[in-house]
Structure 1
Amino acid sequence: MKETIDLINVNIKNLTSLWQTASEPINSYFKEPKFDYSLIEYSEWPNKLWFNQEINKNTIALAKEKLVSVSTNLTIPYWDIHNSNSFEILEQNGFDLKFEQTGMSIKVNHLFTELKTLSLKKVSSEKEANLWAKLFYKSFGYFTNPILLTKSQKNTNYYIAYDQNEAVGTGILHTTNNVSGIHSVGIIPEQRRKGYAEQIMKLLMNQSIKINSDYITLQSSDMGKGLYLKLGFEEQFTIKNYALPQRV
């Protein structure tokens, strides 16, 4: 039980560290007593507000006050880890549930067979950052300011997936201590149903093993969960993502 709790905590730590790492170099990460938030203008990702403790009416009121004071919409992830129904406080205060994810992790000690034609290219130039942002938008429908990719690369690698010379998708590998978090594995619509997502995952997992990570974590949509279970990941907790209705 303790190991499960620890894995949940390191999963959340890796995720929030990614948001902080992406936004801090451009002075867009902010820390309040009850919550942290990333607010980047001209970008839809990461733009999150996350709590560092169990929520209550007071913390929600403070967060709501902050959200209505800024012009950029922020998503609030709620970690369903407290064995309570405190998420109901969000709903009672006008927040809408946008989507849910599942926190998952795996401890691996063997390399996966890689598809020879598929490769990952680390983003290392402005041109590649622009291409990554374009692929990310086509895959997920969220705009990311390309400047984030060139400013936050100390522990974060942004990858473009190529089938020979054709760009087909994206991925992020973010490391915190002995944990590798896999994020934003996306395939552009015209290249889906060809097995690329699985191959990208295997490449990223192999990279994690090569840098001696003890665990690999991710946050799955319902669509991706079957693939991650197939690769050996275990489900551990639910993330409910909320937002205030957009102001006109």
Structure 2
Amino acid sequence: MINKKDAILENMIQTFERLGDNSPYAKFIRAENSARIETELPLTIFNRVFDYQAADDDKSQAAGQVKSMIDSYRERGAKCVWHVYSHKLDEVVVETLKTNGFLPVGTMSGMAVNLEGKAIQQPPMPGLSIVTVQTEEELERFKRVFVAEYGLPDELANAFTEAFVYDPEGQMKYFLAYVDDVPAGTAMTFRTGDVGGLYMVATLKEFRRRGIGGVMVGHALLDMQAAGATLAVLQASDMGQTIYRKHGFEEELVIQLFG
């Protein structure tokens, strides 16, 4: 049986490892007890420590290791975000972060839903169509919608979205929603074995409050099922949880962000 908490964390790490490999600007660093990504771009999404666990038999080294990672970002002038997980809480790590000027800056909910045998309802929505990105032209449209939704400045948009690369093997998939043939929303999935991760769910402001986000989630879940995934995972803000809970997602852990 899949451990949902571990699946949420591992899928997120592997997703950003792939994005880091895709990007000429980002570097993913994975060691025995840590996983992080760094870039010269002033973007916290690509300057993150996703996981750090001090060895059980050598907790005395934790403070020094945490400070060393913090310094590696600060020496480059990068603002870093550090993830702390409710099921792996380490007070030494938290205290070291605070001692070095890190403060809580938000939380996310690690959520999961079993897909095996799950009936996913997709009510028809007039004028809405969702396509799996399969051409460079569609991928460029995906990038433009994502950039517009997240408000990335022009000088960073092209550099950041270079991480979105078409995967012919289908482990990473991009979905683009159209309303009356106008690009309106995005979603991305990344499959690791029996686990499908859902990311980049966004709807342009002018198309919100029509239920498009919920339909995008359902479409992605159906695609995961068809590919053989038995568990779907994601990380949600407080605002996004309502949509996901309607599809059966439940909170499995809390991710506290320090920055």
Give the TM-score normalised by the residue count of structure 1. 0.85
Q: CA deviation at 1:176?
A: 0.5
Shift of the 138–107 alpha-carbon distance from structure 1 to 2, 3 Å rule, reads same
- Give 3-state SS (helix, strand or coil) of 2:210's partner: coil
Larger Rg: 2
Q: Say which of 56, 63, 84 aligns to 1:78.
A: 84
Shift of the 68–16 alpha-carbon distance from structure 1 to 2, 3 Å rule, reads same
1:207-226 mapped onto 2 (5 Å cutoff): 207-226=223-242
- Give 3-state SS (helix, strand or coil) of 1:223's partner: coil
Look up the match of 1:30.
Answer: 29
Shift of the 42–14 alpha-carbon distance from structure 1 to 2, 3 Å rule, reads same
Are 1:49 and 1:74, in contact at CA under 8 Å, matched by a contact in 2? yes
Shift of the 204–149 alpha-carbon distance from structure 1 to 2, 3 Å rule, reads same
1:32-77 residue CA offsets vs partner (Å, 9 max, x unmatched): 4542322344573444222241594223211112111224433222
Shift of the 162–47 alpha-carbon distance from structure 1 to 2, 3 Å rule, reads farther
1:4-19 mapped onto 2 (5 Å cutoff): 6-19=3-16
Look up the match of 1:246.
Answer: none
Are 2:178 and 2:184, in contact at CA under 8 Å, matched by a contact in 1? yes
How many residues in Structure 1 have an aligned counterpart in Structure 2?
240
Q: For 1:98 and 1:137, locate their aligned partners in 2 and report how far apart those are by CA, in whole Å.
A: 23
Q: What amino acid maps onto 2:101 in structure 1?
A: G
Q: What amino acid maps onto 2:18 in structure 1?
A: T
Are 1:79 and 1:240, in contact at CA under 8 Å, matched by a contact in 2? yes
Look up the match of 2:66.
Answer: 60
Q: What amino acid maps onto 1:212 in structure 2?
A: G
Look up the match of 2:164.
Answer: 149
- Give 3-state SS (helix, strand or coil) of 2:187's partner: strand
Structure 1 stretch displaced more, 151-160 or 8-17: 151-160
Give the percent of matched residue pairs that are identical in Structure 1 and Structure 2: 18
1:122-171 residue CA offsets vs partner (Å, 9 max, x unmatched): 33444433332332233234546232112666411122211231111111
Are 1:10 and 1:179, in contact at CA under 8 Å, matched by a contact in 2? yes
Look up the match of 2:142.
Answer: 132
Shift of the 22–83 alpha-carbon distance from structure 1 to 2, 3 Å rule, reads closer
1:196-207 mapped onto 2 (5 Å cutoff): 196-207=212-223
Are 1:126 and 1:150, in contact at CA under 8 Å, matched by a contact in 2? no
Q: For 2:87 and 2:37, locate their aligned partners in 1 and report how far apart those are by CA, in whole Å.
A: 22
